[in-house]
Structure 1
Amino acid sequence: MNESRDQLSRVIKSIGRGAGKGVAGALLLAISAFSAHALISFGRLSGLVERIMGVVDPVAALAGLPGEALFVFGLSIFFNFYAALGALAAFGLGIRDTTIIALMCLLAHNLAYESALMKKTGSAATKMIIMRIVWALAAGWLMNVLLAADMGPAILPAIDAGLPIVGFGRAWIAQAGLIIGVMAILLALLRIMRALLEEFGIVIYLSKVVAPFLKIFGLPAREGLPWLLAALSDYKGACRLMDARIKDGAMKKQEADLFNHHAALCHGILEDSALAMILGLSLFWLILPRLAIALVVVWVERARRHRFRRSFRVGTA
């Protein structure tokens, strides 16, 4: 009986802890996504967005992408992925274009903040920023080649810019409130789920399950826990763990840097991908390309380090 009460108490406490983090995350999402949605929606109403598109479209067309891709990608680089989702929802593009842009933003978002975290664990911030931008643009070009020409219309089309200002405002509140509200609720539920997984040791167990597969990606099996923390949510949890390991002497900064080459490109595999799925996107195209790119990047980095060490030994570097 006492054991059952203890279990129930642990469940309630972990739900409360997860709910607190969920509310904080949901508020950040709502503020970021609403701001971006309003910027795009009312920018379209004023005609400002169309004038900007007139400049951006020819540049984006060189890579076979719509002008909106560079517009949203620019938001993503300087802000978080939530802002990119809000902008994508406002543009109301078809599933094909939304998939391409979402993937680009998943690969490169919130660069200043996340690169600063990676610098703490041994990575060069400038290198991480350039790497993510280059791979995001390359992925956008490649996806434009691979994806079918028509993958269906948007879940919610863009608001008609021809509406009177009052009608447009009402439509904006309804659309933004619906889609961003659903995202915020989903994010809160995911944070509660993560708290439960952590409380009952399931995260540790799952990290042991995925550990052997990390060798495929060029990472040691002992990095199963930081990998899972990064995959479930954002990079912060993995960063804290690696920082503690480095201070304890259990991990070298060179090892953390190699991990960052992977995590920079595919953290938030569960959380961010699930949020993007609300826009009608396929998890396959949101996850598999990121894992494939991370695999290539880590093995190339390992080869570069091996070549450098060999060159150094023979006195040519």
Structure 2
Amino acid sequence: MLDTPPDERFDRITRIAARVYGADVAFLSFVDADQQWMKSKTSDALSDHIERDRSICTMVVASGAEMVIEDMRQDPMLEGHPVARDIPWRFYAGVPLRGEEGSVIGTLCILREEPGAPPAFNIDVLRDLADISSHELTLARRNTELHQLSNTDALTGLPNRRMFDQEFHRSWRRARRTGVSTSLLLLDLDHFKEVNDTAGHQAGDQVLAKFGRFLSSFAARPDDLAARVGGEEFALILAGSDEPGAAKVADAIIRALDAIALPHPLRKVITTSIGCATLRSDEDHVNWWTRADRALYAAKAGGRAQAQSL
């Protein structure tokens, strides 16, 4: 769910929470190791994300218990907190969001500019809305699993172009949020048409299937992604890889492919050309893709079986 677009299922829940409690802001957030990210919020006055150690919600996540603070500027528990005295809200109420295994994965919270609880305050409604949110998360996860099955390339077992486009955009958003270097590799099997024309399409399909399994081993980290994006075209997203790191992976792919020696009917073995592009801080995802594509073209124009970076 991290870094996915707005979702009406969760926007509806935060709107209800804001109306029920007369809150100035209601938000639903998820946490990873480093940050709290707002999946839904009723006001743009609240940041889209915050470092986890600066978040008040981290206390709810750590304890797994709901928390109500009458006045964040006066509560001794928040003495010395890095943001509690500076934000425009004073009343806070938050409840944990739990995943299928029962672990706390986020929070559902309300904020008010005035100190003190709203009239006839009862946290039960917020708790019920959090339970509904957790149920929606379970449904979303299962729908995602079905979506992945329907967007898998049958020949290689890799995500297809439609799935890649969605994950590529999500990777761009995540990189912009976290500031973590992320690189894109575009790969094209060299002289692949000759395989189909000389040895037949069945032989070509066997090469594609073997290359797909080979490439998947280079998507080693949880946010990495290998995909088939065209006939003999593949893509690899490397989360956490800067330009030297991406170049190192590209070189490893070329050397490892040479080592497994997939046969080519006219040129002894299958080789690949690779274009690399590391996302720049001010770059949109379209330009990021374009740079990788231009780098791939340069690799092919330069003699193939090599990697180029732009």
Q: Shorter-chain TM-score: which interval?
A: under 0.3
Compare CA radii of gyration and give the structure with the larger one.
2
Which has the higher relative contact order, 1 or 2, with Cα contacts under 8 A spaced 6 or more apart? 1
Higher helix share: 1
Query: TM (normalized to structure 1)?
Result: 0.27
